Structure 1
Amino acid sequence: MTMDYTRITHIDDPLFADMHALMGRIFPPEEVLEFELWREPLEDPGIRVFVAVHEGRVVGATEYRYYEDDNVAMTDFTIIGEPGLGIGPFLAQHRQQDLQQLATANGKELFGMFAEIYDPYRAERHEFGGVKPMDPFVRREVLAHLGYRKLDFTYVHPSWNNDGEAVSELDLCFLAYGVNTQSLPGALIEKFLRRYYAVLAQKPAAWEDMVSEVGKRQQVALLPL
């Protein structure tokens, strides 16, 4: 069984239409950016969108980015379109290889990677397209095994509908590659969040308050998922 790890850099790529349709089947509406609004992100060299293509079909996708100045990455999303193909490990391995190459080109060892991870007790009503590997309980356990831990603060994020609504079913988590990393500086978290969500003009007051508060903390502990 073979899959190709293919980068998408334009919304006119037929694979992008496949990917966006897959996102619509898997994620709740407030988590999916409108089709046309993808034009600039896809053309941004710092945003890396790859799809797993099997027999001409997009069966999985992942988006991530690497910030050279802070030597951290962010996994925007990982989509597993169907079970039994090994899509999750395929995407994770290829993403890891790509990020390590980016860090090496930056003269560093990758410090770690942020990810927003659903809290299954708050997000269990979502069926995620009926694909069981995308079930919040399954995903959280898998990501815990990969080494992700949640940051110790109550997390909300702006809806990708850009309507100023706060989404509160996720935890902000971090995969640290250094075995001694038990916390992150609050200033690093604030800088990351402000940069990451700069694309959204409408941000809820709850998000602004959260970001300001976490930025005042010296360190924010990493807790088990």
Structure 2
Amino acid sequence: MDYVRVTDIADPLFAGLHRLMSEIFPPEEVLAFDLWKEPLEDPGIRVFVAVHEGEVVGATEYRYYADDEIAMTDFTIIGRPGLGIGPFLASRREADLKRLAAEAGGTLQGMFAEIYDPYRSNEHPFGGVKPMDPFVRREVLAHLGYRRLDFEYVHPSWQQDGEAVSGLDLCFLPYAGQSSLPGIFVARFLRTYYGVLEPKPAAWTDMVESLERGGDAALLPL
């Protein structure tokens, strides 16, 4: 299996990636094909696909924020069972992020991720691919060490319609043993990460402002 970076919507691998995203994720989580042009060309956004026998069978997108020494995993897709795609993507991503951190003169302090909470809503079939089942994914990420931040989380829809998307937790993988994160730190990250999406839903703005006014957000078990 090969770990290949995609930087151009004209790359045939991107067509396979976007098709996989559209099959796996609900519509409000998928950016339209043409709107991927600028994100793919952004050197700070890293989109990699797992290629098996010429076919895109998995993918991950992530970013490293050198100033705060943290990362964000935008998504991880396992398109087929029985190929070890999940461990393959996780290990390659971690190695790449640690290399980026070292090149920037720092260390990787942790990684954010949005994780579906199937105990609140289990309405997404995720293309019928069992490794993408939200119960399975949540337990796998818990085993990897992810913990959920203790506040009610929403994010702006990627369809850019101003709707708030719920049913997820904002989680963090603490490489430095953190048991909480400053609310103002989390708010700054969210304002940066979702800066490109407009309009922002009122529920999201209220959430971020509450984080900015509050103290620390505890990291709780998944």
Please classify the TM superposition score into its range, dividing by the shorter chain length.
over 0.9
Alignment counterpart, residue 218 of structure 2, candidates 205, 218, 221 = 221
Match of 2:179 in 1: 182
1:69-80 residue pairs with structure 2 within 5 A?
Answer: 69-80=67-78
**What do you get for the CA RMSD once the two structures are aligned?**
0.7
1:217 offset after TM fit, Å?
A: 1.9
CA–CA separation in structure 2 for the residues paired with 1:33 and 1:90: 25
TM-score by length of 1: 0.97
CA–CA separation in structure 1 for the residues paired with 2:121 and 2:50: 26
- Alignment partner of 1:30: what SS? helix
1:89-168 residue pairs with structure 2 within 5 A?
Answer: 89-168=87-166
- The AA in structure 1 aligned to 2:136 is V
- Asked whether the equivalents of residues 60 and 80 of structure 1 are also in contact (C-alpha less than 8 Å), the reply is yes
- Asked whether the equivalents of residues 99 and 110 of structure 1 are also in contact (C-alpha less than 8 Å), the reply is yes
- 1:108-129 Cα offsets, whole Å, 9 max, x none, are 1200000000001233111100
TM-score by length of 2: 0.99
- 1:126-161 Cα offsets, whole Å, 9 max, x none, are 110000000000000000000000000000001110
CA–CA separation in structure 1 for the residues paired with 2:74 and 2:202: 22
- The AA in structure 1 aligned to 2:193 is Y
CA–CA separation in structure 2 for the residues paired with 1:83 and 1:123: 23
- The AA in structure 2 aligned to 1:211 is V
- Alignment partner of 2:119: what SS? helix
Match of 2:22 in 1: 24
Q: Which runs of 5+ in 1 are unaligned?
A: none
- Asked whether the equivalents of residues 19 and 58 of structure 1 are also in contact (C-alpha less than 8 Å), the reply is yes
1:218 offset after TM fit, Å?
A: 2.3
Match of 1:194 in 2: 191
CA–CA separation in structure 1 for the residues paired with 2:214 and 2:179: 15
1:201 offset after TM fit, Å?
A: 1.2
Aligned residues: 222
CA–CA separation in structure 2 for the residues paired with 1:90 and 1:213: 38
- 1:160-199 Cα offsets, whole Å, 9 max, x none, are 10000111110000000012x1000111101110011111
- Alignment partner of 1:22: what SS? helix
CA–CA separation in structure 2 for the residues paired with 1:102 and 1:123: 36
1:61 offset after TM fit, Å?
A: 0.2
